[in-house]
Amino acid sequence: MIKVIRFLFYIKIWRCPTISKELAINEKIRDKEIRVISEKGEQLGILPTKEAQEMANSKNIDLVMISPNAQPPVCKIMDYGKYKYEQARKEKESKKKQKIVSIKEVRLRPGIEENDLNTKANNAIKFLKKGDKVKVELRFRGRELGHKDLGKVVMLKFIDIVKEFGEPTKAPAFEGNNMVVMIDPKK
């Protein structure tokens, strides 16, 4: 019987939700004393939580904990709904201004013909015009590994074709059985 009660007690403690001080608002603020900032940004000093809550209630706005890790915690009197709305709007606008650069990949072989190379280069030029980076990968298989110099010639020819629209970040390098180069668009 005692073991069952202990077990249930541990389960209850384990499932007990922890109080998050990150977004503590109004009655959820559990500290005895807090540093209070008015809605205009003026410091009102260190006050008991109940008194600060009464000040916020008299103005029909919220008491929001801004910095829970400070000693004593910092709270601000503000309209929390308006604050959250403005934060969401700022975040949305910053995402609009971001340019997502994707990496497009072009694969070549050492024995590629001239017309195929031009077609691949034209595709890479389209990607570079859009502002995307291009990863050019020249794959070697079997006996082709013995002729890495031919692959280097093909890669340099490809870079020469697209040099008007993009420039390589560094010289072509080997990664295993592949020769790889990244080409960034020109600005």
Burial of 56 (0-12, 13-18, 19+ CB in 10 A): buried
Domain that holds residue 129: 103-185
Average pLDDT value over all residues in the chain: 83
Q: Is residue 11 part of a domain?
A: no
Q: What is the CATH number of the domain that holds 76?
A: 3.10.20.80
CB atoms within 10 A of CB 37: 20
Q: Is residue 81 part of a domain?
A: yes
For the cut 80, the answer to whether the pLDDT of residue 2 exceeds it is no
**Total of domains in the chain:** 2
Closest CA to 64 of 18, 21, 26: 26
Q: What is the pTM of this model?
A: 0.51
Q: Any idea of the CA torsion for 122, 126, 127, 128, to the nearest 10 degrees? A: 90
Q: What is the CATH number of the domain that holds 167?
A: 3.30.110.10
Q: What is the pLDDT of residues 42-73, one digit of tens each?
A: 888 888 888 888 888 888 888 888 888 888 88
Q: Is residue 93 part of a domain?
A: no
Confidence band (pLDDT; 50, 70, 90) for 30?
Answer: confident
For the cut 60, the answer to whether the pLDDT of residue 18 exceeds it is no
Which of 85, 116, 141 is the endpoint of a domain?
A: 85
Beta bridge partners of 36: 45, 75
Residue scoring higher pLDDT (14 or 131): 131
Closest CA to 124 of 135, 113, 112: 135
Same domain, 78 and 112: no
Q: What is the pLDDT of residues 109-127, one digit of tens each?
A: 998 999 999 999 999 999 9
Which of 28, 55, 85 is the endpoint of a domain?
A: 85
